[in-house]
Every structure is written in C-alpha cells, then in structure tokens.
Amino acid sequence: GHAVLSVAAGEAHLLNISVDSVYQRRGLGRSLLRFMLARAEQRDAKVVFLEVRVSNRAAFQLYQSEGFNEIGTRKGYYPAQKAREDAMVLAIEL
C-alpha cells in the first residue's frame, strides 16, 4: 500500500491512501491510516482532512471507525464512468 500526506499551518490533508485489492481486508489500510495520523501529529497538525468517494462505503466505514467525521461534500469531485462522483469531506481532530 501507499499513502500521501501534506501538512501545512497546523492542518494535514491525506491526499491518497491505497492498499492493493489482494491485500485488502487484512488490517493493512487501518495500520497505514494510523501511521499517517501519527505522522501528521508529529508534524504538529491539529486536524486531518480527506475526501472519499460517496460510493466507497468500506473506506468511509474505516475512517468513521477511526474517529473521522463527515464535514461536507464536494460535488462532482471524482471522475466516474458516465458522469462525476461526489466526495465526502471528512476530518479528525488530533
């Protein structure tokens, strides 16, 4: 898996987090997420934001179980097959 985190001015943005489908459902995504949250905290972030596709229920449930809350929606944020897909904006205070 991999993850990309940006930290500036006390805020972090988890830009991407991904685990190959062969290795999903083994706790690797949760471990990677926790590692990135710890890294954000080490870099003095007070809050972490991320976007997730509204159709990605598994990821949303993971983020929610780790303490993220939905704070908004970005309309048409992601490209999709026939149109664009909305993103839920999530945040967690560290």
Residue 51: active-site member:
yes
Kindly state the DSSP code that residue 21 receives in the 8-state scheme: G
Token reading at 22: 């062969």
54 CB contacts (<8 Å, ≥6 apart)? 73, 85, 86, 87, 88
Catalytic residue among 11, 23, 63, 78: 63
Secondary element (H or E) of residue 13: strand 11-18
Residue 77: active-site member:
no
Catalytic residue among 51, 78, 85, 93: 51
Q: Which residues are catalytic?
A: 51, 63
